[in-house]
Structure 1
Amino acid sequence: MTGYFIQAFIYLIAAIIAVPIAKRFGLGSVLGYLVAGVIIGPMIGLVGEETATIQHFAEFGVVMMLFLVGLELEPKMLWHMRNRLLGLGGLQVAGTTLAVTLLAINVFDQSFNVALTIGLIFALSSTAIVLQTLDEKQLSKTDGGRSAFSVLLFQDIAVIPMLALIPLLAVPELMDAAAQSGAGLGGETHSDISLANHLSGWPYGLVMAGAVALVIAGGHYFCHPLFKFVAKSGLREIFTATALMLIIGISALMGLVGLSPALGAFLAGVVLANSEFRHELESTIEPFKGLLLGLFFITVGAGIQFNLLFDNFFSVIGLTLGIMAIKFTILLLLGFSFRIRGSDRWLFSLSLAQAGEFGFVLLNFGAQNHVLDHATVQLLSLVVALSMVFTPALFIAFDRYILPRFEHKKNDPETDEITEQGTVIIAGIGRFGQIINRLLVANGIHTVVLDHEITQVENVRRFDMKGYFGDASRLDLLHTAGIDNAACIVIAIDDKIRSVEITQTVKRHHPHVKVMARAFDRGHLYQLRQAGADHIIAETYHSALELGGQVLMGLGFNKRHADIVKAAFVDIEKRHQDELYEAWQSLTEDIKFSSQYSKLFITLEQVMGEEMKKTCEHLTDYTGSKPAHGQADEAQKPQSEGSTS
């Protein structure tokens, strides 16, 4: 038992140290996990033979991830994805399989059966790494991210026919050698329990279809009453056990009939996407998914055979980069064909250029079914692992070199010719800027709206609002828009750095113009203040304050008391804002990493609590009564969005 504790401690401490460091330097958590695995495995040898066994267990994290992905997709949304799912995904798998097969036959002199198996293995990409990284970098909602997801989903489905096809490709020489030794390759037979091992043809197809139908029907008719029954117990741990039981049961069922557990979990997630228990399931499964995926990435790094790599360094690296180049080229061509534009095309192509975790499954399956020999399996396993290790570097290259270039190009198209000048210039016509513009225009104030996002300008034009495509940080555009005679400029763009730059530009060249700016958070507010902004509003401050007041009224405060408490809260914040700002100016690091700032903030929060308590006591003394929770009068009823408060 002690040995298991020691191994668990090694894996956890490696993750705890490596991942925060990798995140701090902008390298992403996946690379941190992979590096941690390399350090504790091949480099210093703290883990060894158990890595392969742990990896099979950790692959369950991929199953959980696809279950959570399914929860985000309604069946209607999945139907809308059919063109890219089948077209883009199908062409990628077919094109990569064909290219790698031809390469294996013509360059490496492999037989057709072996070459086709290798082609199928490298047609797959890493669902775990790609989806995790896209989610971390908030790229999953982009066109490139959605296209990558469509291909990954098709690949996971394609694993099923691949598993059915590989046994038919068995090499006679390997079958004879296995028969003579009395065992499968490696001296062991496939030990997984299977109800479909001895079936073929239409009976096997019926069993698979029945398993899929059972998952869909069970999710639709059985899960709702089950979760409702469990939820009534009020025990969170039982709900957690039920969620895990559901995913493990589906995985076991899929394994029994020879299907992909990940596919079964995905289907169950899609079926439950409209369930009222969806969010509870997400919050329950998410920690397990994250931990198991991290463990899986560590085992990939720890499983790299450096001895084999050093013995065949140039051939292994050349093969890895060659496979990734082939996949990248095919993906780039498909990106052109399916009109994936700009940086999204590069994101799509780079993100899927690696081999995937299911490659390990197909390699072992190919060995067990006498298609691949032991030496080939070891070599290709190393290539699969290295391609996964190289993937975070591709995302880093995308962030640092490709994305800035396309952002620059996106902002460089010819700006609109500004034909008017305004009393107020508004930089940014998103959800925040639109409200300000409508308010000013409704009161007869002439505005000129600039936005460096062409889509935003096109959107407001559809509603008969006037806007110009242009970068408000350019002094010549501000001059054309009338900055010389303007009273103020409103900065409402979704770009922290650019908003600070605009503030500095305006205050340097036109100090008479008042700068009204929106801040995303406290640190951004201080940056804008330092740059010279005259008035700054935190974008969520007043809406949060208003909702907080409604909560107080719902708890028994009358409207007048709630307004007094809110006003006192704002007054206390204003009195201490200079102290916080001065502390921020002395920082050499970001607010969220500064213990000095955190201590000051906590102290001020304590002061806030004491002063708010005094305010409430004063109200009690003044009115002679204390607000009673839950006893709201008519004035405390919920108000509509349009009402004043």
Structure 2
Amino acid sequence: MAVEAAAPLYYEPLLLLGGAVIAAPLFARIGLGTILGYLAAGIAIGPVLLLISDGKELLHVAELGVVFLLFIIGLELKPARLWAMRRSIFGMGLIQVSVTGVALAMIAMLLTDLSYGAAFVIGFGLALSSTAFSVQTLESQGSLNSRYGQTAFSILLFQDLAIAPLLALIPLLSPGAEGADAISLERFGIALASVLGLVLAGRYLLNPLFRVIANTGAKEVMIAAALLVVLGAAALMEVAGLSMALGAFIAGVLLAESSFRHELEANIEPFRGILLGLFFMAIGLSLDLGMVIDNWLTILIAVPILMLVKAVVLYLISRAFSCQHNDALRVAALLPQGGEFGFVLFTAAASAFIFPQAMASLLIAIVTVSMALTPLSVRIGEMLVRNEPDEEMDEDFEGAGAGVMMIGFSRFGQMVSQVLLSGGTDVTIIDHSADRVRAAARFGFRIYFGDGRRKEVLEAAGIRHAKIVAVCTNGAASTDQIVNLIRAEFPHVRLFVRSYDRAHTLSLRERDVEYELRETVESALIFGGKTLQALGTSEEIASEIVEDVRRRDEERLAIQAVKGIYAGNDKMRVRPVTPEPLVKPKRESQRLDHDSEQSA
């Protein structure tokens, strides 16, 4: 009986967790991304199998994932950096919302018989993009701090600001909007007062609050305080008619310079991850499949038009604000979908009788389908990105042809060159980064611009006269391309190669590389030895221990070369050696040997 009574309480959470655990890794494994996995799980659990029917109610709770996401982003953006982005936020963002909104409103009027007010709400509602989808995509790509990532985020931030005046205009556009001017003016005043109040509280109250709580040493209270700040700021903005996510973002920015920033981020991150996944699942749960089926032709036409118009406007605006072609293309491919704030705007417009509830449901379905297509649009954008060099420079190899050719002049190559040059060895250095070549030339290095993956570059740089080729490039893929090319075209060249990891080391040895070195192994051994010395181990014993680790590592590599990457585990230490190190200083070892001989 107890199990039956408790089943309804845990039924929906178990379904959602099970769907997330199955779908997200599966979609990530096949290259479609976790976001689409969450969406698919929500659609399967809700509209398809009808296991959960209250998707829209769940969506209100799941929106907290977006709130926490914007808070964490705010923690990374100090006010000075945010001020530096003002041109992108209030320039690009304003133009994008205005131009896209007008364009989509005109298309809505051409294709339907809606009123000017209804077309305005539709156009500007669809002009907003999804902060959750876009920022999560940028984070998964590691591109949030890239140039195009910052451009996209600036546009999204203005869109979050734009939701307030758009909602304030709803009463003005409603049929028979008597007193709407007063309502809008009142809303504007409340919104302005709320933002000012939040800024003042963040500047003068939050840091002292966290300092007092931190002094108590109660970690759970610190977590509770972090949640209180985020949800309190979000609730304040919602009461003022603004975006909850905007309130959390402002709170994050105000705490960006706080000494508690990292602890706050660590406390919020688990909630952010779970709730954001729940948000994407709730989007799938709330999809009205009946509406999609009944209006499939309308949606089939409307979604591509929406995404194409937004992509074109985004690309042109990005180019107008001096973005490179590839960055503009990525921004256009990232932000062409409708956004979650459109749900709020369309629902409010239907409640104000600007258009029927059926139209609001259709618009929400269009936005949801466009969200689901976002991973596809991002992938198409990456396919269209030009493989053009980041910079141009003449390939001039006059004077090249030393006994050692070095390919790649990053930090690893720079240190290797110091050893070779200090030993009186001339080196021909080539690198494919024009910026790196210019920077090295300013220090007096003789370095040549060229791509070591091209046969003609290697020949022009004098590989046929080189005694040794030192491949010091970053990354296993580019290193492998160079090694394969040299092995195929110049088989007698002696290859010394910088390796990425153990697997890369083994693959290089299979190709008869004369010498390879994992890029971090020696520095890690030295670091470990110095740490032992700091803990009280003598320098002699620490050196012997390091040498023992180096020897066992080499023995393990030899075993792995024959039996596979998972062999030779007995050569590793997974627990502290007790009661004392297994190696002894050479002097002590020699003394013990001598004593044993004497006793014999």
Determine the structure 1 residue equivalent to 2:94. Answer: 90
CA 1:601–1:253: 2 relative to 1, 3 Å: farther
Report the AA paired with residue 491 of structure 2. P
Which residue of the partner structure matches residue 337 of structure 1?
A: 320
Deviation at 1:582, TM superposition (A): 3.2
Hey, what's the Cα distance between the residues in 1 that align with 2:30 and 2:472? 29
Cα 1:198–1:108 change in 2 (3 A) is closer
Aligned residue in 2 for 1:298: 281
Output the amino acid matched with 1:36: A
2:49 maps to 44
Q: Where does residue 457 of structure 2 map in the other structure?
A: 477
Asked if 1:264 is matched to 2:243, the reply is no
Alignment match of 2:113 (pick from 106, 109, 112): 109
Aligned residues: percent identity? 33
Shift of 1:412: 10
Any idea what SS the aligned residue of 2:497 has?
strand
Q: Which amino acid aligns with 1:254?
A: M
Q: What does residue 332 of structure 2 align with?
A: 349
Q: 1:322 aligns with which of 299, 305, 318?
A: 305
Residue 616 of structure 1 pairs with residue 581 of structure 2: yes
Correspondent of 1:215 among 198, 202, 205: 198
1:343 Cα deviation after fit:
2.2
The yes-or-no answer on 1:136 pairing with 2:140 is yes
**Letter in structure 1 aligned against 2:32:** L
Matches within 5 A, 1:70-85: 70-85=74-89
Contact 1:27 1:396 in 2 (8 A): no
Residue in structure 2 matching 1:19, options 16, 19, 24: 24
* Map of 1:638 onto structure 2: none
8 Å CA contact retained: 1:240, 1:284 = yes
**Does the aligned pair in 1 maintain the 2:500–2:519 contact within 8 Å?**
yes
Mapped pair 1:368 → 2:351 = yes
Question: Whole-Å Cα distance in 2 between the matches of residues 72 and 468 of structure 1?
Answer: 39
Partners of 1:412 and 1:228 in 2: how far apart?
Answer: 49
CA distance in 1 between partners of 2:348 and 2:154 (Å): 25
Contact 2:541/2:585, CA 8 A, preserved across alignment: no
User: 2:376 matched to which residue of 1?
Assistant: 393
CA distance in 2: counterparts of 1:582 and 1:233, whole angstroms: 57
Post-superposition offset of 1:221 = 2.4
For 1:315 and 1:373, how far apart are their aligned partners in 2? Answer: 16
1:417 alignment partner AA: D
- Match of 2:355, SS state, is coil
**What amino acid is the match of 1:418?**
F
Please give the residue correspondences for 1:456-467 in structure 2 after superposition, counting only pairs within 5 Å: 456-467=436-447
1:490-510 C-alpha deviation (Å, 9 max, x unpaired): 222234222112112223333
Determine if contact 2:45/2:285 at 8 Å carries over to the other structure.
yes
63 and 618 in structure 1: CA distance in 2 versus 1, 3 angstrom threshold = same
Q: How far apart are the structure 1 equivalents of 2:330 and 2:195? A: 33
Distance in 2 separating the partners of 1:207 and 1:559: 69
Query: Please, which moves more after superposition, 539-548 or 329-338?
Result: 539-548
Distance 1:5 1:98, change over 3 A: same
Partner of 2:174: 170
Give the counterpart letter for 1:116 in structure 2.
Answer: F
1:426-446 Cα offsets, whole Å, 9 max, x none, are 222223223333443344432
Cα pair distance change 1:139/1:531, threshold 3 Å: farther
Query: Is the 2:506–2:557 contact (alpha carbons within 8 Å) kept by the matching residues of 1?
Result: no
Query: Residue 109 and residue 204 in structure 1: after superposition, are their counterparts in 2 closer, same or farther (change >3 A)?
Result: closer
Q: Secondary structure at the match of 1:288?
A: helix
Match of 1:183 in 2: none
Whole-angstrom distance in 2 between the partners of 1:376 and 1:205:
28
Kindly provide the amino acid, as one letter, of the partner of residue 16 in structure 2.
Answer: Y
Which amino acid is the alignment partner of residue 448 of structure 1?
A: T
**What amino acid is the match of 2:87?**
N
CA displacement, residues 36-95 of structure 1 (integer Å, 9 cap, x when unaligned): 1122222222222x1111111111111111111111111111111111111111111111
Q: Is the CA contact 1:142–1:344 (under 8 Å) kept in the aligned structure 2?
A: no
Query: 1:601 Cα deviation (Å)?
Result: 6.8
SS at match of 1:274: coil
Deviations 1:369-428 (A, max 9, x none): 3323201111000000000000011122234x234xx23x32896751211222222222
Superposition deviation, residue 472 in structure 1: 0.3
Pairing 1:54–2:21 present: no
Which of 392, 396, 402 is matched with 2:384 structurally? 402
Contact persistence 2:27–2:37 (CA under 8 A): yes
Question: Are residues 1:509 and 2:509 paired?
Answer: no
Equivalent residue, structure 1, for 2:498? 518
Instruction: Answer with 241-250 or 431-440: which moved more.
Output: 431-440
The answer to whether the 8 Å contact 1:428/1:450 transfers is: yes
Amino acid at match of 1:533: V
**One of 471, 492, 515 as aligned partner of 1:491:** 471
CA distance in 1, matches of 2:554, 2:569: 16
Please identify, of 55-64 and 511-520, the stretch whose mean Cα deviation from structure 2 is larger.
Answer: 511-520
Amino acid at match of 1:355: G
1:152 aligns with 2:156: yes
Tell me, yes or no, if the aligned pair for 1:411 and 1:452 is still in contact at 8 Å: no
Could you say which residue in structure 2 is the equivalent of 1:605? 572
* 1:341 Cα offset (Å): 1.4
* 1:59-70 equivalence runs, <5 A: 59-70=63-74
Q: CA deviation at 1:473?
A: 1.4
1:204 Cα deviation from its structure 2 partner: 4.4
Q: Is the 8 A contact 2:392 2:434 kept in 1?
A: no
* Separation (CA, whole Å) in 2 of partners of 1:453 and 1:221: 47
Q: Secondary structure at the match of 2:389?
A: helix
Q: Look up the equivalent residue of 2:369 and give its one-letter code.
A: L
Change (3 A) 1:618 1:416: closer
Cα distance between partner residues in 2 of 1:294 and 1:275: 28
Indicate the larger mover: 90-99 or 340-349: 340-349
Aligned-pair CA distance for 1:8: 0.6
SS at match of 2:479: helix
The one-letter code of the counterpart of 1:250 is A
CA distance in 2, matches of 1:130, 1:524: 34
Match of 1:577 in 2: 557
- SS of the residue corresponding to residue 410 of structure 1 reads coil
Please state how far the C-alpha of 1:617 moved relative to its aligned partner: 5.4
Classify 1:27/1:415 alpha carbon distance in 2 versus 1 (closer, same or farther; 3 Å).
farther
Q: Which residue of 1 aligns with 2:598?
A: none
**Separation in structure 2 between the aligned mates of residue 552 and residue 370 of structure 1, nearest angstrom:** 75
Q: Hey, what's the Cα distance between the residues in 2 that align with 1:295 and 1:609?
A: 40
Deviation at 1:10, TM superposition (A): 0.7
Larger displacement relative to structure 2 (515-524 or 83-92): 515-524
CA 1:565–1:603 in 2, change beyond 3 Å: closer, same or farther? closer
Write the letter of the residue equivalent to 1:21: L
Identify which range, 265-274 or 441-450, moves more after superposition.
Answer: 441-450
Distance 1:544 1:198, change over 3 A: farther
Q: Which amino acid aligns with 2:384?
A: I
Question: 1:421 aligned to 2:401?
Answer: yes
Corresponding residue for residue 511 of structure 2: 531
CA contact (8 A) 1:327 1:353 kept: yes
Say if 2:545 is the partner of 1:565.
yes
Partner of 1:227: 210
**What is the count of residue pairs matched by the alignment?**
582
Matching residue of 2:341: 358
Higher deviation after alignment, 501-510 or 380-389: 501-510
